[in-house]
Each structure stands twice: as C-alpha cells, then as structure tokens.
Amino acid sequence: MFPRNAEVVIIGGGVIGASILYHLSKRKIKAVAVEKNELASGSSGACDGLIFLQSKKPGPHLQLALESKARFEHLQEELDLQLEYRNPGGMIIIEDEDELKVMDSFVEEQRNTGLDVSILDPHEAREMEPSLSEALSGATFSPLDAKINPILLTLAFISSAQRFGSKAFTDCEVTGIEVKSGRVRVVHTTRGKIETSVAVNAAGAHAPSIGKMVNVPIPIKPRRGQLLVTESVPPMVTSGILSARYIVAKFNSTLEKPQKGGISIDQTYNGNLLLGATREFVGFDKRTTYVGIKNIATHTSRVIPQLKDIHIIRAFAGLRPYTPDGLPILGKVEGIKGFVMAAGHEGDGVALSPATGALIAELIDIGSTHIPLDEFALERFHS
C-alpha cells in the first residue's frame, strides 16, 4: 500500500520530520514521511530530553524556542502517547571564574529580553539541587526549562498524525528527487516512487546527501554526541542540568577549552540519569568510545559526586546535525519550488520540534509564516 503520490513527502522519521507530519495533518494536508531505518532510530533516539530556553542565543533562536515551549504546554492533550513532559526548571552550572564572567553577561543579555533567568551562588544552587558538588562557582536557573521523552515525542507525533490519515514508512530510503522546470516532481525511494510537489528535507545529519540529489550544497556536518545511561535510581536531580562550558562552546568558540567538554544531566521519568556529552566530528561513526565514556563519567561525577556509586547500564551516540552558526536551516530553498529545508538543529531538535513543525507546516500550507524564517534560510551560507 505504498502511495504513488502525496501532497508532501517528508524525508526523515526523527523528531523534526515527525513534528512536521503531525502539524501538516492538523491542517488536513496529507503528507507521507519516509524514514530509511526506523522511527526515532537516529539522533532523536539517542539524545537526552532537555528542553532548555535559557541556553538559546537571544534573537530568532530564542524566539523559536519560546514558541516551542508554549506549544509543549498543550502537546500532551493533543498527542496520544505519554510524553513524560515535566517543567522543573533548568540549571546551567558554572565551574570556574572565567565561566562565571561569561555567564554573568549572557544572563544579563537574556534578562534584558525579558527571559526569566537568574544567577545563583553555590550555596543557593545546592539548596535547589542538594546532590551538586560543593566545588562549583555557581549556577544559573530558569523556571522555563523543561524535560520530555524524545523517543515517545517522536512516536507520538507520528501516531497522532496517522490518526488523521497521514502515513510514515520505515525501511524506506530516498534514492533520488526529480526536479523538472525548477520544481519538485517525484521522490524516489527503495520502496517505490512518490509523485509530489513538496519534499521536506528533515534528514538531520543526512540532510546534505538529500541536498546533493537536487544539487544544493547544505553545510550540515554530523557531530557525534555520546551519552551514558545509569540504572534507575530514586529522584536525585530535579532540574535539567547543563554546564556553562556547553554554552561557551556553542556560541563563543574563542573561549572554548579543548579537552574540557560540557556536560548535561537529565534524570528521566523512569529514574535513569542521562549523562552527556561529547561533541566530536568523526563522520558518521555512531560507536561509543572508551575515551568518550570516561570523560563523561569523570566530568559528571565531579559535578554530582554521588554518581560514582551508580552504575552505567548503557551508552549510545547520536549524530547531531551541526551548522556553522548554530542555527537550524529552515524554509524554502531558492531556485527549487517545493524543496523545503528543516534540518540542522544540533542538540536543539527536541526543544525546537513543535515550533519547527508548526512553522514548516504553515509555510507549506499558506506560503508564509507568522514568525519570519529569513534568519534560518539556507541562503545565509551562500556568500
């Protein structure tokens, strides 16, 4: 029952593709998502569930995040699987004086835009999260930050879309996209070809290979993030936790210290602690490495000493779609009618998925978006 045509073909069955499928179905647009492996088997199935607003650069990035957050609040009512969405707030822990200086100005910038975030001294930080180490220089806290189960979120988007009649096909790799007279005509896959006028590139780290099919260079590179999973333990860490190093590394590479990666700590609904992360350019190698595991264990145990006696039961790696400026690539692509980009969220895919899905669906439906996507256009890299 593979379709021969569809209004929209979404390439990629991760959280972004799933969200777009869902939001299109809400607009009564019959879309088909095609996924080369299994749903949520890529980066969306190998990440933590942190939804951080305070870590977003003020400007369009933060705006997108705020739009997403507003949608997250109601998503559980709309979707038909348990999302494990919670809103305990988030902390960015600060480990030395250099970081404290950077975070002081970062937080001030954010507060000026009206964002609810503040700096805590080490004592206040430990009052909120007693398991934190005494050796920290402080932390930021925002009550806006939240958590979710990224796999269930992806599967929920898909299954809810299916209720509306949209379809998702797994084991279905895109092998080519036919463009005639400057518009998308056919998407070829290993399970058959689909005639369509809109193809959405939501292929994450694999977006460039989709772009090649229409001769469009896309500057997305896979960046491996390794994560450790602990056994389930009683509640120990309530807020989502990131480290300032993570922010510093993402936005201000002059301050980035090699060998000292950032960390993330997310205690899931089930009680497991997700400890992250590495950020490595190793092509498409999804293996976990001894060095990566060792570094994560060492750094996270420094921040939460109790971790030393907790068992790691699993480790995995996801390929985050990195872009040179840290912003996703969203919107129509010049020169090819019907080819739409929705990839490059590096580490923010889950957090930005509701807004991305809603806006891309809006774009496809009515041709414009209520939040302008100009800053996210692919063309910003063509200079």
Partner 1 sequence: MTEDIMEELRISTVKRTERIRISVNGRETYAYKGETVLAALHAAGYRVLRRDKNGQARGAFCGMGICYDCLVTINGIRNQRSCMFEVEEGMEIAIDEP
Partner 2 sequence: MSPNKYDVVIVGSGLAGIVAANRLADYNLEVLLLDENIHIGGQILRRIPQNLGVGAGREPSQVRRIGFRFIESVKEKKIRVMNRTKVLGIQPEGELLIEEDEKRAYTITADIILFATGARERFLPFKGWMLPGVLSTGAVQILIKGSGVLPAKEILIAGSGPFLYAVAYEFVINKGTVLSVLEQTMLLDNISLIGRLLYQFPKFTEGLRYLAKLLISGVPIRYGTQLIEARGDTGLTEVVAARVDRSGRVREGTEKVFKTRALAVGHGFVPNIELPQLAGCELEYSQDKGGWVVRVKDDLETSIERVYAAGEITGIGGALKSITEGNLSAMGILHNLGKVSENEYISHLQRLSKERRHHLAFGKCLNTLYKIPHGAIRSIPDETVICRCEGVRMGDIQKAIANGYDTPGALKRILRVGMGTCQGRICGPVLYDILSAYREIPAHDIPPFSVRVPVKAVSCGSLIS
Among 162, 154, 185, 210, smallest CA distance to 38 is for 154
SS3 assignment, position 91: strand
Nearer to partner 2, 51 or 152 (CB): 152
Report if residue 270 touches partner 2, rule: CB under 8 A: yes
Report if residue 377 touches partner 2, rule: CB under 8 A: no
How many residues at the interface with partner 2, by CB under 8 A? 36
Options 112, 254, 258, 309; binder of partner 2; rule CB under 8 A:
309
Options 37, 175, 190, 232; binder of partner 1; rule CB under 8 A:
232
Options 68, 264, 278, 288; binder of partner 2; rule CB under 8 A:
288
Rounded distance between C-alpha atoms, residue 238 and residue 296, angstroms: 20
Q: How many residues does the chain have?
A: 383
183 φ, ψ (degrees, to nearest 5): -135, 155
User: Which residue is associated with the tokens 């060998």?
Assistant: 259
Options 63, 118, 137, 159; binder of partner 2; rule CB under 8 A:
159
Decide the pairing of beta strands 31-34 and 167-169.
parallel
- Least Å distance, CB 340 to partner 2, is 27
The alpha carbon of 229 is separated from its chain's Cα centroid by a whole number of angstroms, namely: 18
Rounded distance between C-alpha atoms, residue 297 and residue 301, angstroms: 6
Rounded distance between C-alpha atoms, residue 297 and residue 1, angstroms: 47
- Least Å distance, CB 26 to partner 1, is 36
Report if residue 253 touches partner 2, rule: CB under 8 A: no
CB atoms < 10 A from the CB of 364, how many? Answer: 24
Report if residue 311 touches partner 1, rule: CB under 8 A: yes
Report if residue 310 touches partner 1, rule: CB under 8 A: yes
- Least Å distance, CB 314 to partner 1, is 13
Report if residue 82 touches partner 1, rule: CB under 8 A: no
| Assigned token pair, 12 | 């990629």
- Least Å distance, CB 237 to partner 1, is 16
Report if residue 41 touches partner 2, rule: CB under 8 A: yes
Using alpha carbons only, what angle is made at residue 230 by residues 224 and 231, rounded to the nearest 5 degrees?
Answer: 150
> In the window 125-154, what residues touch partner 2 (CB under 8 A)?
151-152
Which segment (186-194, 199-207, 258-266, 281-289) binds partner 2 by CB under 8 A?
Answer: 281-289
Which segment (32-40, 65-73, 209-217, 248-256) binds partner 2 by CB under 8 A?
Answer: 32-40
Rounded distance between C-alpha atoms, residue 288 and residue 255, angstroms: 27
The alpha carbon of 316 is separated from its chain's Cα centroid by a whole number of angstroms, namely: 16
- Least Å distance, CB 304 to partner 1, is 15
Options 313, 334, 368, 374; binder of partner 2; rule CB under 8 A:
313
Q: CB-based contacts of 183: which residues, under 8 Å, 6+ apart?
A: 197, 336, 337, 338
DSSP 57: P
Q: CB-based contacts of 234: which residues, under 8 Å, 6+ apart?
A: 271
> In the window 185-244, what residues touch partner 2 (CB under 8 A)?
228, 230-232
By CB under 8 A, name the binding residues for partner 2.
38-41, 45, 151-152, 155, 159, 228, 230-232, 270, 275, 287-290, 293-295, 297-298, 300-301, 307-316
